[in-house]
Amino acid sequence: MSTATEPSAATSAARQLGMRVALRGGGSLIAYVALIAGGLVYTFPILYMLRTSLTPVGLLFADPPVIIPWPPYWQNYVEMWNEGLFPQWIRNSLQITSVSVVAETTTSTLVAFGFARTTFRGRDKLFYIVLATMMLPSTVTLIPQYLLYHALGWVNTFLPLIVPRFFGTPFYIFILRQFFLTLPKELDDAAEMDGASRLQIFHRIVVPLSGPAIATVAVFSFMNRWNDFMEPVIYLMTPDKLTLSVGLRWFTGRHGTEYHLLMAGALVMTAPMIVAFFLAQKHFIRGIALTGIKG
């Protein structure tokens, strides 16, 4: 990297600290402070939720405030567990989410392969349609879909939430297709020369090479399905059928000001997300960046 100017003393010192100097003079210190302060502000809600969930109701509004309740009041979780139908809700969510994730990931991978690695007339035009559907709000289809499921007798079952997942999701199809396009075509051609079918190329060559991309899609899918709210709210009617997201809302309606219990519930809802995020962090951020980059 060529520098046209003599680095100043402050710059050299900062470089020695291992910081790439993007700001002159004392600017770097401001950046550090901003990073730490901003980071704390952004993680605060989650930390505060954790702290409140372990605070007995009597100490919630204590003055002076209790920073960290000690010992942690686990009783809140017991109470929350008994007040709502959390075990059932979690079971429902797990069932729906796991099937959905497998279905979505598998079909999106298959479809993306079709768009990336096969040739047929109208392939690219159809892909533009896939892209276009990503930009359309889902508002318009909600009502007819509901009427369809109602006619099928699927209201208050898990079916409306699971069945559509078996037909690919445009967003994941897009990500996976972009990834497949980066794999060298020579691999395909070599296998083709020996008479391999597309399906064989798919599951013997492309899929094994696509671990990171498929994992990213699976994580995205898990997060979205677990957090899904609008569709479950529309289709699930009786309390025993609710997913955790809808159940938590039901619970909030009944225990609106019992914040210690609400936070316990919120933690149960968000903990799997946070855990999944940490486990898959690398894939996550890369996956999102993949969608925003032009071309």
Partner 1 sequence: MTAVPRSPVAPLADAAESMGQPVARRSRKPFVQRLEGWLFISPWLFGFVFFLAGPYLASMVLAFMRWDMGSTISFVGLRNFEYLFLEDDLFRRSLLNTLYYSVFHVPGVIILGFSVAGLLNLNVRGIAVYRTMFYLPSVTAGVGMAVIWVWLLAPNGIINAVLKLVGIAGPNWLIDQRWAMPGLILMSFWSIGTTMVLFLAGLQGVPQQLYEAVEVDGGGWLARVRHVTVPMMTPYIFLSLVLNVIGSFQVFTSALVMTSGGPDNATLFVLLHIYNNAWGSFRMGYASAMAWTLVVVVLTLTVMQFQIARRWVYYEYRDRA
As a whole number of Å, the CA-based R_g of the chain is 25
Nearer to partner 1, 78 or 150 (CB): 150
Q: Which of 68, 148, 181, 279 binds partner 1 (CB under 8 A)?
A: 148
Nearby residues of 263 by Cβ (< 8 Å), 6 or more positions away: 49, 50, 52, 53, 76
Which candidate, 70, 71, 52, places its Cα nearest to that of 61?
52
Binders in 264-283 for partner 1, by CB under 8 A: 265-266, 269-270, 273-274, 277-278, 281
Q: Which of 77, 202, 220, 222 binds partner 1 (CB under 8 A)?
A: 202
Integer Cα distance of 103 and 111 in angstroms: 12
Nearer to partner 1, 119 or 238 (CB): 119
Q: Please, what is the minimum distance in Å from the beta carbon of residue 60 to partner 1? A: 9
Which candidate, 223, 276, 254, 251, places its Cα nearest to that of 89?
251
Q: 153-192 mask for partner 1 (x: CB under 8 A)? A: -----------x-xxx-x--x-----------------xx
Binders in 87-126 for partner 1, by CB under 8 A: 107, 110-111, 113-115, 118-121, 123, 126
Q: Please, what is the minimum distance in Å from the beta carbon of residue 193 to partner 1? A: 5
HSE-CB of 30 using CA atoms within 13 angstroms: 6
Q: Please, what is the minimum distance in Å from the beta carbon of residue 163 to partner 1? A: 9
Instruction: Choose the stretch contacting partner 1; rule: CB under 8 A; options: 78-86, 178-186, 210-218, 258-266.
Output: 258-266
Nearby residues of 52 by Cβ (< 8 Å), 6 or more positions away: 60, 259, 260, 263
Binders in 62-91 for partner 1, by CB under 8 A: 65
Q: Please, what is the minimum distance in Å from the beta carbon of residue 109 to partner 1? A: 10
Alpha helices in the chain (DSSP H): 9-16, 27-53, 75-83, 86-117, 123-135, 139-152, 159-162, 170-181, 185-193, 198-201, 207-209, 211-227, 230-235, 244-254, 259-279, 281-292
Residue 26 touching partner 1 (CB under 8 A): no
Q: Please, what is the minimum distance in Å from the beta carbon of residue 31 to partner 1? A: 6
Nearer to partner 1, 175 or 269 (CB): 269
Tokens describing residue 219: 């994580």
Q: Please, what is the minimum distance in Å from the beta carbon of residue 93 to partner 1? A: 11
